[in-house]
Structure 1
Amino acid sequence: MVKMKRKAAFITGTGRSQGIGAGICRELAKDGHDILFTYWTKYDEEVSFHRKKDEVTDIQNEIISYGVRCEKIELDLQDTSSFKKGFQYCKNTLGRYPDVLVNNAAVSINDTIYTITPESLDEHYRVNVRAATILTSEFVKQFEGEYGRIINITTGWSQGPMPDELSYVLTKSAVETLTYTLAPVLAEKNITINAINPGPTDTGWMTDDIKQDILKRSPSGRIGEPKDCANLTAFLASERAEWVTGQVIHSEGGFRNSL
């Protein structure tokens, strides 16, 4: 049996062990991928009061326990110099450019048509649109593997209105456009690109009231967990998913946006 060359995966937005990014790192590591993940402490501390000290080191140590290499790098994805820096760091530490890119990092700060500001919209754009697009461009230009995988984490904006998250849904909608627009171009390089809407996912932010409301609309009888998105990501990152590209997959257990 020919031993397959180990793949390298680059996952953005992995600052908390309860988050979707950390869940994706775990599942890809279990499948034998070496991992490089990014985080940005300032944002995590601003929006996540439950972040633990040394959490990224704990995540790294856990990933290493699966028998793969794992590196981490703090990157401000609003800084355009971070894009090339991340890929070069992957090459320097893991010995190769990534075969898998997961655009998981996002800015998500609630606003409405009454409270939206140019500054807030720009902040969402710089990470949710610009960073995802340029990271994708850098991935494609640096790609040197047998097959490549790009997985974009999106949201359920197309499943129903989300007026209290206006900047977030406006910018996240561009991720889906990016996905299906690039699919035929990237197929020529044996790279697939897909997007996942994980639906409401319990990463530590939900109150009891929010959980009860979601459960009323969840025919599966439970709330989404990071492992749900991570399991689908692992499939899309695998060789088995070679015929799936340009898709937005709604992985939400039958969740209904409205009662």
Structure 2
Amino acid sequence: MQSPLFAHADNQTGERYSLQNPQLLRVALTGRDDVLARKGSMVAYQGSIEFDAEYQSGQERRRRRQTGEGLDLMRCQGEGTVYFANLAQYVHLVDIESDGLTVDSSYVLALDSTLNFQVIAVDSQYGISGTGKYQLNITGRGKVALMTSGEPLMLRVGRESTSINVDSDAIVAWSAGLRVQMQAQTQSSTARSRRGNTGEGWELGFQGEGYVLVQPSELLPPQNARIGSGVAAQFGMGDRGSHGQNRGNDWN
């Protein structure tokens, strides 16, 4: 059999984490260190691999219900190669070190089991679409695979520079050491008002020293979406869209 498809054959590499292509993550397991991945994100694997739902304590489940933040994970262990993807989103590898990473849980594809993560409060008075009151803080040493809708923008925040402002619906992650403030430039005293008729609303201001990751999209990825009919369903709205069909996940 012959086909141009053979140009997309498995990329053999000695790295634990690597990208098969910009939208497909390849993880090599040796039987020693497990990897935690978003439930349902495995698209293929080779070798002897076991997949188990990661245990969540009662406190973690309550926090998930109260904040809307948290990770639904499966533990992957064994020897072989596993491939992960989610809705053909772009995948990016990040080395977590002493400074830590703050991220919306909807953008986490996989991470080392040695990393720690917990829900934290962000400087915000309101629960706003995109980045709201709570985010996920990842600490320790290891790798995490993030997802973006399209190719992202990485902005550096320096101590000598003015603050960087990012649309709250486009932010993906930022260095945990940055100072964050949610703000809106609006002439109305109500939190729900937008800036006149510009369509721009809430934004996050960052100060300090670190990095901010932004995606070219202002929509969270629908997880396990079951799309109904019509334009509203296609964009996740209503009882027949991905919002209505996926009660209890990160997109609600």
TM-score (norm 2): 0.27
Larger RCO: 1 or 2 (CA < 8 Å, sep 6+): 1
**Bigger helix fraction:** 1
Larger radius of gyration: 2
TM-score (norm 1): 0.27
